[in-house]
Amino acid sequence: MIPTLLRRGGRLSIAAALLTVSVLACAKGNIVILATGGTIAGSGASSANSASYQSAKVAVDQLIAAVPELQNVASVRGEQVFQIGSESFNNERLLQLGKRVSALLKQNDVDGVVITHGTDTLEETAYFLNLVIPSTKPVVVVGSMRPGTAMSADGKLNLYNAVSLAVSPDARGKGVLVSMNDEIHTARDVAKSVNIKTEAFRSPWGPLGLVVEGKNYWFRAPVKRHTTASEFNIDRIEKLASVEVVYGYGNMNEQAYRAYVGNGAAAIIHAGTGNGSVASQIVPVLQELRGKGVQIIRSSRVTGGGFVLRNAEQPDDKYDWIVAHDFNPQKARILAAVAMTRTSDSKELQRIFWEY
């Protein structure tokens, strides 16, 4: 632009030229990439290693430098928050990351945040942020299924799409998003459904849209409460409630439930078969634990669309149990851990599961 103006005979001072450059840079928007490790920061022994590799090896500056096209869509800078495999994302790390995201989004010079994350628990971190970050600015969580050293590595394009999405005005107000494999998903719905293919992340109700060559194509919008419509705020949360998941099956026994409660669990997510079903020998155990004040939340272990109806498989009203609606067990745990920082009333908790 500046050389064109000079060629046309206009007199452009050095100060004006610098101002023009500054305006153009600001027009692109400012995105902060928070790196936490995972496969997208992984490295394999050879280019043939797409499934066997060491995660969390590449620093955020290297990730950014590997995709120079990022500078065409946004002014990008990075921070290394963690360098871990996402299977090690505990409650304390969730809170630390959430508070950093919240602080960044309050800055006038930050238009959005991208979080690079391991895929094992990406859906849980994304949903946690969706519940507690009170901002309309885009937050996009991204990972990869193959390390950057592999043939047909997916991380570079995923990162490019995530930054392009985060800087887009049309991504504002849609809650926390997950960008993987050219698709845009809401953090509420998306789940990892396979651990080998690049199309690993799916939503039971479908993606929100697509990112194609830096352009967003939207097909639906989230309707459940999130971010600025949420009653939860990361700035007021210092500790998450202790919530544990027990996997249900026909031959199970009561030991896991009692052990978790003995170690301080305030709620148990029962990952039941089908409609959150509970084996007959476990029903009295859960009744007993509820009588002692432990919240019992029935979820479904069904892959890709478990949906638990209240009073349809168990008399939830009678037992004062909660149903997890369409949340898988791991997301039900996140919602319960956040919700129980505000209430221990089972009716209020059930309302929260319906609304979020």
Please say whether the beta carbons of 29 and 111 come within 8 A: yes
Kindly name the residue from 36, 116, 119, 227 that is annotated as catalytic. Answer: 119
**Cα distance between residue 75 and residue 158, in whole Å:** 17
∠ CA 265-270-274 to the nearest 5 degrees? 170
Active site residue 39: yes
Residue partners of 137: CB distance under 8 A and separation at least 6? 105, 110, 111, 112, 113, 172
Edge-to-edge strand list for the sheet holding 295-300 = 243-247, 267-272, 295-300, 322-323
Both tokens of residue 287? Answer: 């009744």
Measure CA 28 to chain center.
25
**Cα distance between residue 289 and residue 282, in whole Å:** 11
Active site residue 119: yes
Q: What sign for the dihedral angle of Cα 123, 129, 132, 138?
A: negative
Angle between helical axes of 346-355 and 329-339 (0-180°, round to 10): 120
Please say whether the beta carbons of 340 and 241 come within 8 A: yes
**Cα distance between residue 310 and residue 287, in whole Å:** 16
Kindly name the residue from 36, 39, 149, 227 that is annotated as catalytic. Answer: 39
Question: Which residues are marked as active site?
Answer: 39, 119
